[in-house]
Each structure stands twice: as C-alpha cells, then as structure tokens.
Amino acid sequence: MVAGVLLGIVLLVAAAVVVLTLVRTRPLPGAVWLLAPGIPMVIAGVAVMVWIWMTGLQPSATRSRWSLLRESRGLYGEVFRGVPRGALLTGGAVAVVFFVSLITASPVVSGLGHPLAPTSHCAYRVNEQGVVTCTNQATYYLAGRDDQRYVASWFALACLVGLGMGASGLVRPGRAD
C-alpha cells in the first residue's frame, strides 16, 4: 500500500527531526526543504487512509456510512475499531511521546518565539507572540530548533492517525477487497 509507505516515510523523517533537534543546540540546516515533499505526502496519505477507513465501514441495507458516523460510540471506538490491542498500545505510546514533544516545543510553552530574518540593526530577531525583540545567538538558535521540532511533531501525529485509520479499515471483518 503506497499511502501507508508514504506515511511511514514521513513518520520516520519526522521522528528523526524530533530526535535530532532534541540532541542539537541549533536547528537542522535545510530542514525547511523537507516541507516541500512532506506536506503533499501527508495530505495524500491521510486522504487515502481515510478513504480506506470509510470503505471499511459496513453499513446495513437501511443505514448509510454517514449515519454510522453520526451514531458512533465516539471517535476512538469507531476510528480504531478492529486494530490489534498491541498495535493500539504501541501507537498510543508513540503518539504520547510526539504530543509531549509538540507541547514542549510550542512557542507559547517554551517562550522562545519564532526566529526572524536579520536586519541591519539586529542579527538575531525573534517574534514572541507578536512582539519582535532582538536576542542573543543561543536563544535565536533554540527558537529555530523548537520550531522545527514543533512542525515535525505535528507531521508525526497526523501520520499516526492516518496509519491507524487505514489499519482499522483494512482489518474490518467482512471487508470486500
């Protein structure tokens, strides 16, 4: 399944970016170029996984797929139904790690802001919730590193949800493939 492979690749690259930004004190050079292939890969992969999940829903003769969604037992119960317990626990543990990474790299929590391009008056500018300040080099690099980790964590969480939905759609009993 190509969509699962694409999401797996994005997930591994996002995990590598998260780990590398945790052990380095500077942002990864050229990491912004990962967004060009990463964004379409995540969008296409998650869209295909949602389609697989939707086709895995087995409506009765009198109920549509949409009514199954409206009457579901909740998001967790319907989206990941049928996925083996070990895979759910592993995916959940990985999701918690990425969620903690996301929260701790958030500009609001870290208080470092976003790095901005230098000007003639200040080489290391950061934008912290709308307030642009001049800062030292170390804080500037930490802000850039946290920005990269924040984006990579979002990518990883999107991939995990997409892979979980696709797995749920594939393991449904009675799937007609």
Residues 120-149: tens digit of each pLDDT: 899 999 888 888 889 999 888 888 888 888
Q: Is residue 123 part of a domain?
A: no
Q: How many domains does the chain have?
A: 1
Query: Does residue 174 surpass a pLDDT of 70?
Result: no
Q: Give the mean pLDDT of 33-40.
A: 82
Residue 136 domain flag? no
Question: Would you state the pLDDT for residue 134?
Answer: 92
* Residue 59 falls inside a structural domain: yes
Residue 134 lies in a domain: no
Reported pTM: 0.74
Which structural domain range is residue 12 located in?
2-105+151-170
Distances in Å between the Cα of 157 and the Cα atoms of 74, 76, 151, 152 are: 19, 15, 10, 9
**145 lies in some domain:** no
Find out whether 144 and 26 touch, Cβ atoms under 8 Å: yes
Mean pLDDT, residues 81-107: 84
Q: How far apart are the first and last CA of the chain?
A: 13
- pLDDT tens, 67-89? 545 544 555 556 677 777 788 78
pLDDT surpassing 60 at residue 59: no
Q: What percent of the chain has pLDDT over 90?
A: 3
Residues above pLDDT 70, as percent of the chain: 82
